[in-house]
Amino acid sequence: MAKSANSVGALLMMASMACFTLNDTLIKLTDGAVPLAQLLVIRGMLSSVLILILARWLGALHFRIGRADWGLIALRSVAEIGAAYFFITALLNMPLANVTAVLQVLPLTVAVGAALFFREPLGWRRMSAILLGFLGMLLIVRPGAEGFSLWSVYALAAVGCVTVRDLATRRLGPDVPSMTVTLVASLAVTAAAGLGATATEWVPVTPRLAALIGGASVFIIGGYFFSVRVMRVGEISFIAPFRYTGLVWALVLGFVVFGDWPSPLTLVGAGIVVATGLFTLYRERRVSQR
């Protein structure tokens, strides 16, 4: 029974990663034809409506939340705003696989953040893996090399924002509905983008652009839906490593759709990051079992 639940959970995680990567692909296909603030407002409005419908259908929406949790949700939402801005800006200016590869360092940054701020134990094995993972990240962004640019800094800033978001999420009480948190974050990003949009000139949205943004909204909701279902099926320690299939999707879609293929150094760096991330997840599982 457990094996069956784990298999379903793994499939759900892979589906979630596929949806998120397809969302990124469609956003990248807009190629900057729509100002970022306008794009986030349109996608945010569509996403918020779809999240609300999904949450009500799942019966997973209520706002009876304590003050401390509301503070964490506010912090998480601010981090989500920063992540959306930095990630999409980097995405529009970098190859899909490269920006996705940078994001694979997240399990390592979250582990370091949890050790620094929450006093969670971090043994020498995991610390060594994290340091090696950061070296792999340097191979991806290559500071000082010709391929390094401002957009690499934006991708790293997105990692920082998502790390804060995930750390805040870890401190939320177990009775706080995931869909409520997701809806609040979506509304926060939409509101912030709306403020930014007042300072930019809106452009007409062609049928092609409308289809791309609409499709991105559907896929990002699919990603959220599958990620929520993952939390209810199988063992998270077994399922979590399948998040790295997002990098495989990014490699395939980046090559098929955009004709991009990372350099050998980038692939080596991504491989190191994934390997160290998997080892970190394995060690966390061993420690929790003890």
Q: For residue 282, what pLDDT band results from cuts at 50, 70 and 90?
A: confident
Three-state DSSP at 238 gives helix
Give the pLDDT of residue 237: 64
Q: How confident is the model at residue 36, as a pLDDT?
A: 93
* Predicted local distance difference test score (pLDDT) of residue 121: 77
- Strand, helix or coil at 160? helix
Please report which confidence band the pLDDT of residue 123 belongs to, taking 50, 70 and 90 as the band edges: confident
pLDDT surpassing 90 at residue 243: no
The fraction of the chain above a pLDDT of 70, given in percent, is: 92
Region of 142 on the Ramachandran plot (φ > 0 left; ψ -120 to 50 alpha; else beta): left
pLDDT-based confidence at residue 146 (cuts at 50, 70, 90): low
Distance CA 219, CA 190 (A): 17
Cβ atoms of 42 and 204 within 8 Å: the answer is no
d(CA 40, CA 51): 15
* CA angle at 50 for the pair 191 and 201, rounded to the nearest 5°: 35
Q: Which pLDDT score is estimated for 6? A: 79
Burial class (CB in 10 A: 0-12, 13-18, 19+), 8: middle
Give CA 261 to chain center in angstroms: 21
How many angstroms separate the Cα of 177 from the Cα of each of 60, 169, 181?
6, 11, 7
pLDDT band (50, 70, 90) for residue 1: very low
pLDDT given at position 224: 81
Give the pLDDT score at 157: 96
C-alpha to C-alpha distance for 247 and 253, rounded to whole angstroms:
10
Indicate the domain borders of the chain.
2-289
The two tokens of residue 57 are 């259908």
If you average pLDDT over residues 243-254, what whole number do you get?
92
Could you tell me if residue 209 is left (phi over 0), alpha (psi between -120 and 50 degrees) or otherwise beta?
Answer: alpha
CB-based contact 35:201 (threshold 8 Å): yes
The closest of 136, 30, 134 to 88, measured between CA atoms, is: 30
Q: How confident is the model at residue 169 (pLDDT cuts 50, 70, 90)?
A: confident
> What's the pLDDT tens digit per position in 190-240?
999 999 999 889 999 999 999 999 999 999 888 888 877 776 676 766 777
What is the structure's pLDDT at 75? 96
| pLDDT digits 0-9 by tens, 194-208 | 999 998 899 999 999
- For residue range 84-103, what is the model confidence (pLDDT) as tens digits? 999 999 999 999 999 999 99
pLDDT at residue 107, rounded to an integer = 84
Is 145's pLDDT higher than 60? no
d(CA 176, CA 62): 8
**What is the distance between the terminal CA atoms of the chain, rounded to a whole angstrom?**
24
Task: Say what the pTM is.
Answer: 0.88
The residues near 224 (Cβ < 8 Å, ≥ 6 apart) are 51, 54, 182
